[in-house]
Structure 1
């Protein structure tokens, strides 16, 4: 196994044109100041909306979300106790699972019928808690695989390289630029199976950007990552927002939630029970009850390990 690189003294610099988006990030964050701290609160410029989304497994209702909106151009954390339904909701929002009821809208377009493998074409990509790198392909091959709309994927075109070679070169250049940005260019020709857990997280995040998405969904990006790489990953997540992308992530690491999120959505027993800026969540009685039980009346310390 190849050792992970240690943390850098400063966050990674973001290239000027990795994923150029016309989003005023400062204005998007400032607009949250007027959003009420309540479940299902409407946002000034929502990119993703879920209405009356319900998912049942037999007699168990895993998700029962009346309404939730994700603000464009900011980092939103989705948190909650174990079994709250976070991952199930995440899968429903990205069409990796199908709700029994409800509607999901992305960029004003209903995406209920869009297959999971085509969601990326709409500008939404996701990563997984357990990384999905193709271990017997090299790092650069994994990166190139992430690009959409490749002409050479058509059977008849694959026999005519002159019809797709120029595009292939552009894709490889973009992949190399992202590997440099994520400081993985030295791993370019290594098999993905030789990477450590943290390096696979970086590869998956970099590969997601090959789609040039508007929204990135991260499922527990710090899971299985050693502390030496945590700060690097945090810098890359905030870099996504600084490029104008919207980020929604599921996370148990409350230090990370406090450090990088602009808005927090809290789930418990399948429902949205609270929303607000990170500093407000620990004072919310519904959140305290969900994490500690209704017998506790003190504020929740999000700096403690939960």
Structure 2
């Protein structure tokens, strides 16, 4: 582990030291604060989270059994779905009425459990469409190449740096559809960084990734924290959670049932209950 990585871990965990292991606990410097977020589909309540704060500069894991509402919660916070009620602030700005592209422009970007690479476009073109505020896309500016060519060159250079970092530089002219599942995950993460985000939200980043690429993805996620970014990720692999997470939030049946450090969560009977279903057994007796 590098000195920078150790410093990033120490700073994040020091900020969270002594926090109560309870749902909705206040953080010293939250970048994201969400209150009363609820999403119902007819009579089914998929998400009903009273309060959640995400500490700035930390890596926070969002875990829970299948059907807990984790991805739905992600979709709400990032503007890909609309809540039945609730509001949230990101980096000091009210974000619950923002559309998905506005959320990304504000600095909160996400990846998906099923990658969204444009398979019939090259890896480089996938990267370039991730850049923000491209003048060449505006009708009036498109008529004047000098206005957008310099920006396009800068975006291309930035994309090359990121592809080198994510070990995809040799694939830059390949169709994205030719990449393996793990390489598509890397591409999606690299493309997200084209926006210079303040917070990156990763939905099951290890799903479908072979062991050879898993460690590489882990190191890249740690690297985001080293650069001062905040990470919130959904994951089922508890070994991964223990390795990289500073803090863990646990959902079950659409609700946030507890929060804490990885060690606290592993020993929490509420978490064991949620995963093993003991509360359902008790209710049926």
Structure 2 CA distance for aligned equivalents of residues 117 and 105 of structure 1: 16
TM-score (norm 1): 0.87
| Counterpart check, 1:117 vs 2:101 | yes
- SS state of the match for residue 164, structure 1? helix
Structure 1 CA distance for aligned equivalents of residues 228 and 13 of structure 2: 11
Partners of 1:139 and 1:190 within 8 A in 2: yes
Indicate the structure with greater helix content: 2
Q: Relative to 1, partners in 2 of residues 1:24 and 1:288: Cα closer, same or farther, differing over 3 Å? A: closer
Structure 2 CA distance for aligned equivalents of residues 85 and 34 of structure 1: 28
- SS state of the match for residue 135, structure 1? coil
Counterpart in the other structure of 1:4: none
Structure 1 CA distance for aligned equivalents of residues 93 and 135 of structure 2: 26
Shift of 1:224: 0.8
Structure 1 CA distance for aligned equivalents of residues 224 and 146 of structure 2: 34
Moved more, 133-142 or 209-218: 133-142
Counterpart in the other structure of 1:261: 245
Counterpart in the other structure of 1:97: 81
Deviating runs (4+, > 6 A) in structure 1? none
Counterpart in the other structure of 1:186: 170
User: 1:1-306 to 2 correspondence within 5 Å?
Assistant: 26-294=10-278
Shift of 1:40: 0.3
Partners of 1:121 and 1:148 within 8 A in 2: yes
Structure 2 CA distance for aligned equivalents of residues 45 and 101 of structure 1: 25
Shift of 1:172: 0.5
Shift of 1:156: 1.8
Partners of 2:8 and 2:226 within 8 A in 1: no
Counterpart in the other structure of 2:283: none
- SS state of the match for residue 17, structure 2? helix
Partners of 1:62 and 1:85 within 8 A in 2: yes
Structure 1 CA distance for aligned equivalents of residues 212 and 110 of structure 2: 24
Shift of 1:118: 1.7
Shift of 1:99: 0.6
Shift of 1:261: 0.4
Q: Relative to 1, partners in 2 of residues 1:107 and 1:24: Cα closer, same or farther, differing over 3 Å? A: farther
TM-score (norm 2): 0.94
